[in-house]
Amino acid sequence: MSPVYPPSATPAPRPRLGDRINRFWVRVTEGLEVDQLWAQFERDARSSYRLYSSDVDRSEEEALRPGRKFLRTAEKFFWAILEKLSPARRVLLLVALVLLFFPSGGFTYKDKAGDVHVAEFDLHVWGGLTLLLVLILEVGDRVVMKRDLQIAKEIQNWLLPNQAPTIPGVEVAFLTRAANTVAGDYYDVFARAGAEGATPHYLLAVADVAGKSIPAAMLMATFQASLRTLSNRPVPLADLVRGMNQYACTNSQGGLRFTTAFIAEYDPGARALTYVNAGHNPPMVCRKSGALERLEAGGLPIGIMVDAPYQSATTTLEPGDWLVIFTDGVVEAENTAKEEYGETRLLQIIAAGAQYTPAQLLQSIMTSIDVFVGNTPQHDDITCLLVKVV
């Protein structure tokens, strides 16, 4: 006789095999479609190739025959991969490769009773397990590093503004997209106190630290700290930038860790923008009339020469004008054919979206870049700050 369960105690139906397989697949793929998985794999493969190929010098293979050239290049790639591992893991990887390619075999022997026995061995399994061990060790390092990078990203997001302050007569939007987990690009918009009772001026800054990832992010934090600190002093903008440069030169490793920057001070009452361009991509003022003005006055990148001179310049913004400030990651974004996005495409998007809000135009620019680059890995941080005069 089958047991009778009260309604509350009825066992839940057991999931079907197909449902379990589907849940497993969704958990592994995080819900991505096959084409999305392939695109992700292609980006990862291109990024890894770029990483390893940067250590491969092909100049000496030019005079070799094709077959010899291939073998020599393959050897260099092998060493480029092997040297990324610790010495202990290099030995494990070499042992795994030997076991994987070692032929299976066996031998016969007689016991004391004279019976013949056959002993077979297959080293491929042990090679696969050793290779799996190396993979587990590398994944462990990656997880720890990813956790630390995530913490660094959260700190960096805390340092950067989430939204722009309300500035009379203008609308502002900004965005940064890191090539790695953390970025070396910097943007900021904040009020700079003036004389008592006077309308505050606003500082707009976009900077690009040489390099990427953690080292660049650390220098970005020091750049922000010096800008915020020195901006409290009632000095002209050019003097502020000179002070930042003198501070940066004390920890720039002899000019190797420099920063390109565009720093501007906006006076809402006069609609006057005073700026210093320290070796940065020249921002563009796209006039309502269609005219284009590039903001180039300034000096050397910050952190190269301690006594570098800096000059400021002033331009007036009129209703309908756009101020576009960006880092080189925008115009130098590459597609699979190694073509750069370029200023021409950027200007076309700006002209087409002249009636947009800054947030809408910023989204249009990023979408245009994404369509252009396709599956090509992002090789540099992307930052853009837009100001529209209303």
Handedness of CA 235, 170, 320, 386 (dihedral sign): positive
Q: Burial-class residue 172 by CB neighbours within 10 Å (0-12, 13-18, 19+).
A: buried
Class of the 160-389 domain? alpha beta
Q: Which of 174, 172, 170 is nearest to 187 (CA)?
A: 174
Q: Which of 187, 328, 208, 184 is nearest to 261 (CA)?
A: 208
Domain layout of the chain by residue ranges: 160-389
**Residues 231, 276: Cα–Cα separation, whole Å:** 14
What is the pLDDT at residue 236?
92
SS3 string of 243-304?
HHHHHHHHHCCCCCCCEEEEEEEEECCCCEEEEEEEECCCCEEECCCCCEEECCCEECCECC
| Residue 77 confidence (pLDDT) above 60 | yes
Highest mean pLDDT among 34-38, 99-103, 133-137, 358-362: 358-362
What is the pLDDT at residue 106?
65
Contact 282, 346 (CB under 8 A): no
Torsion region of 30: left, alpha or beta (phi above 0 gives left; psi -120 to 50 gives alpha):
left
CA angle 140, 145, 148 (to 5 degrees): 130
What is the pLDDT at residue 195?
45
Kindly report the average pLDDT of the chain as a whole number: 85
Residues 6 or more apart whose CB falls under 8 angstroms from that of 92 comprise 130, 133, 134
- Rounded mean pLDDT, 291-320: 94
User: How many residues can be counted in the chain?
Assistant: 390
CA 152, distance to chain mean position in Å, is 13
Instruction: With cut-offs at 50, 70 and 90, classify the pLDDT of residue 218.
Output: confident
- Rounded mean pLDDT, 149-168: 79
DSSP state of 198: S
Segment among 9-23, 137-151, 222-236, 301-315 with least mean pLDDT: 9-23
